[in-house]
């Protein structure tokens, strides 16, 4: 009789439990133990903002199974068939002896656990900025069910009213929504000059920011938080100080990024570079030690995007748990890597990206073209059709799609998933235009927005569509060099105008007859509501010999700057 394989898993959320459960199914005889230093294991941390928001009434939903069983060590032993030791911290790894020194946090007792295969699923932790006052009461990090639980209780018992969110990343956005819906005043302070830095390009972020404004979030950009101020008497937060202002606050949430927990791995001599480095089977530089989830850096599945990307996400963590179990069990299945897909609901907006942003493409020195497309996510006659903005990047040479961003009330998640698939499979613009997507009026227009966007970018690469982004149009308008050509109908023009003094208004249907009203020696920027007619106008002008013509991508619907609403 052979000794069963001893597998030790460090970390009890997402990657760890997934690896353990899958491995038990693959290897009925393995000796599997999972340790975690916390009391709770296998909780749904991504759901915290939605508990705070009140989407579900009981925080147990995040720590219990779908049918209400608490995910305790006993639960894992009984249903998943492996041993779980909570309140047990891993102190060090002895790779030669293949042991891990662990400490029971209840008794203080230290022991050594042996392993044949070790899985590091040590996760990440919120970055704790080194500023005065970070220890004050009513300052939260939002990573553990206890955080959300105490936040909700304290908001009620203390009657907290003014919240400052530090950091406008995913968690900051989600918490801003949650607290606004709870009736608090919310100020969102971000050090960068845009919300969702690193996720969106500035143009898409500016567009999204309007929606935050509409929902009463006070967005403060380009200010760095320097201190949290408190009341000397009770040590409670009173204000958040930045390098430029001071904001009253009785509640703050710090969400300025996640840092991988790789100290244990690094101390054991495993290769790390801002996270544990792994191969496609999630093996570290020691083949008997695996790692997955928020403690690792990931490979980018797309081409030309550099080696590594740190993108801590529950979805990736779960996949890697499976990859690890497969490899340990002798059923290797290489992981293809990630494409940096991320999404966030911000009030009625769906905002996200997959692949590379333009900022990244520039940094990587890629030869790319990009476009912004806007339009409804269903035929215009469907009453629940919603506007959606898509930004797409493609390589100039092979026309492969390298990045897509979405923002708007329309169903952007679906288009993002199709784009993520296209990037994953190495598809080009013409592929995206051809995919036989599911069409019926309740779901999409005959030409799906993601296909329509690919067509416009294709037209741009082919020199048919001459167009510029809203940001570029604004820059040129600010220099006063250009004439705008509004090709909308008179009613539309009456309702809403671009805030600019050189606008010529000729409805598209009259353009062919009135083309001589246009100046020949000036750059002309046609636009309409979504620039479908703007594009048509550009082609008409080109056909009449006007060559200094660029329509404004996305039309006034995509315009994140000032507009004059006359009909209001």
81 or 304: CB nearest a second copy: 81
Pairing of strands 139-140, 308-309: unpaired
Give CA separation, 82 vs 214, 293, 565, in Å. 50, 20, 63
133 or 352: CB nearest a second copy: 352
User: Residue 56 and residue 34: Cα distance in Å, rounded?
Assistant: 29
User: Residue 337 and residue 321: Cα distance in Å, rounded?
Assistant: 13
Nearest to 13 by CA among 51, 39, 42: 42
Query: Considering the complex, what minimum distance in angstroms separates the CB of residue 530 from a second copy?
Result: 8
Contact residues for 58 (Cβ-Cβ < 8 A; gap 6+): none
C-beta of residue 424 within 8 angstroms of C-beta of residue 339: yes
335 or 550: CB nearest a second copy: 335
Q: What is the DSSP letter of 78?
A: I
C-beta of residue 219 within 8 angstroms of C-beta of residue 229: no
Query: Considering the complex, what minimum distance in angstroms separates the CB of residue 68 from a second copy?
Result: 8
Cα-based angle 132, 136, 141 (whole degrees, multiple of 5)? 95
Q: Which pairs with CB-CB distance under 8 Å and at least 24 residues apart come from 70-74?
A: 71/17, 71/40, 71/41, 71/42, 71/43, 72/41, 73/41
C-beta of residue 219 within 8 angstroms of C-beta of residue 213: yes
Q: What is the DSSP letter of 178?
A: H
Query: Considering the complex, what minimum distance in angstroms separates the CB of residue 427 from a second copy?
Result: 6
Query: Considering the complex, what minimum distance in angstroms separates the CB of residue 568 from a second copy?
Result: 18
Query: Considering the complex, what minimum distance in angstroms separates the CB of residue 331 from a second copy?
Result: 7
Secondary structure of 444-473 in HEC code, one letter for each residue: CCCCCHHHHHHHHHHHHHCCCCCEECHHHH
23 or 119: CB nearest a second copy: 23
475 or 512: CB nearest a second copy: 512
C-beta of residue 47 within 8 angstroms of C-beta of residue 39: no
Query: Considering the complex, what minimum distance in angstroms separates the CB of residue 138 from a second copy?
Result: 25
10 or 423: CB nearest a second copy: 423
Nearest to 241 by CA among 136, 128, 133, 130: 133
Pairing of strands 296-299, 308-309: antiparallel
Query: Considering the complex, what minimum distance in angstroms separates the CB of residue 560 from a second copy?
Result: 22
237 or 393: CB nearest a second copy: 393
Nearest to 380 by CA among 508, 497, 529: 529
Query: Considering the complex, what minimum distance in angstroms separates the CB of residue 512 from a second copy?
Result: 7
Query: Considering the complex, what minimum distance in angstroms separates the CB of residue 441 from a second copy?
Result: 5
User: Residue 396 and residue 400: Cα distance in Å, rounded?
Assistant: 8
242 or 458: CB nearest a second copy: 458
Q: Whats the size of the chain, residue-wise? A: 568
300 or 559: CB nearest a second copy: 300
160 or 450: CB nearest a second copy: 450
Query: Considering the complex, what minimum distance in angstroms separates the CB of residue 132 from a second copy?
Result: 33
Pairing of strands 523-527, 368-376: unpaired
């Amino acid at each position: 009789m052979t000794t069963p394989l001893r597998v030790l898993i460090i970390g009890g959320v997402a990657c760890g439990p997934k690896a353990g459960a899958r491995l038990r199914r693959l290897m009925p005889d393995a000796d599997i133990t999972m340790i975690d230093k916390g009391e709770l294991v296998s909780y749904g941390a991504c759901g915290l903002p939605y508990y705070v928001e009140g989407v579900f009434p009981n925080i147990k939903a995040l720590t219990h199974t779908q049918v209400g069983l608490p995910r305790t060590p006993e639960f894992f032993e009984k249903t998943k068939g492996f041993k779980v030791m909570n309140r047990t911290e891993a102190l060090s790894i002895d790779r030669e002896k293949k042991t891990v020194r662990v400490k029971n946090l209840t008794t203080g007792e230290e022991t050594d656990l042996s392993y044949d295969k070790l899985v590091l699923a040590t996760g990440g932790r919120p970055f704790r900025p080194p500023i005065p006052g970070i220890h004050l009461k009513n300052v939260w990090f939002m990573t553990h069910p206890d955080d959300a639980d105490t936040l909700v209780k304290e908001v009620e018992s203390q009657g907290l009213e003014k919240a400052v969110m530090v950091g406008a990343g995913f968690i900051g956005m989600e918490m801003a929504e949650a607290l606004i819906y709870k009736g608090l005043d919310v100020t969102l302070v971000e050090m960068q000059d845009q919300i969702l830095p690193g996720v969106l390009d500035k143009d898409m972020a500016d567009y999204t920011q309007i929606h935050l404004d509409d929902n009463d979030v006070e967005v403060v950009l380009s200010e760095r938080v320097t201190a949290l101020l408190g009341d000397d008497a009770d040590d409670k937060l009173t204000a958040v100080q930045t390098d430029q202002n001071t904001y009253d606050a009785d509640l703050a949430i710090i969400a300025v990024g996640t840092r991988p927990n790789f100290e244990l791995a690094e101390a054991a001599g495993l290769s790390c570079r801002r996270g544990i480095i792994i191969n496609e089977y999630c093996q570290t530089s020691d083949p008997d030690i695996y790692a997955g989830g928020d403690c690792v850096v990931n490979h980018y599945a797309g081409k030309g995007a550099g080696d590594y990307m740190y993108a801590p996400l529950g979805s990736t963590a779960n996949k890697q748990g499976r990859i690890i179990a497969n490899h340990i069990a002798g059923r290797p299945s290489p992981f293809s890597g990630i494409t940096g897909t991320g999404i966030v609901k911000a009030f009625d907006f769906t905002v996200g990206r997959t692949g590379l942003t333009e900022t990244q493409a520039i940094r990587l020195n890629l030869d790319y073209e990009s476009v912004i497309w806007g339009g409804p996510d269903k035929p215009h006659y469907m009453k629940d059709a919603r506007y959606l903005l898509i930004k797409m990047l493609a390589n100039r040479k092979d026309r492969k799609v390298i990045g897509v961003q979405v923002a708007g009330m329309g169903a952007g998640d679906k288009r993002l998933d199709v784009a993520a698939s296209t990037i994953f499979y190495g598809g080009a613009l013409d592929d995206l235009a051809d995919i036989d997507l599911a069409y019926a009026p309740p779901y999409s227009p005959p030409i799906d927005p993601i296909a329509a966007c690919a067509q416009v970018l294709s037209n741009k690469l082919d020199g048919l569509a001459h167009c510029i982004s809203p940001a570029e149009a604004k820059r040129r308008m600010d220099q006063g060099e250009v004439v705008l050509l509004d090709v909308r109908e008179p009613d539309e023009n009456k309702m809403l105008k671009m805030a600019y003094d050189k606008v010529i208004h000729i409805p598209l249907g009259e353009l062919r007859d009135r083309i001589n009203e246009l100046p020949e020696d000036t750059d002309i920027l046609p636009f309409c509501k979504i620039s479908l007619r703007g594009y048509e106008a550009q082609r008409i002008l080109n056909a009449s010999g006007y060559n200094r013509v660029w329509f404004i991508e996305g039309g006034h619907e995509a315009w994140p700057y000032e507009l004059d609403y006359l009909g209001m």
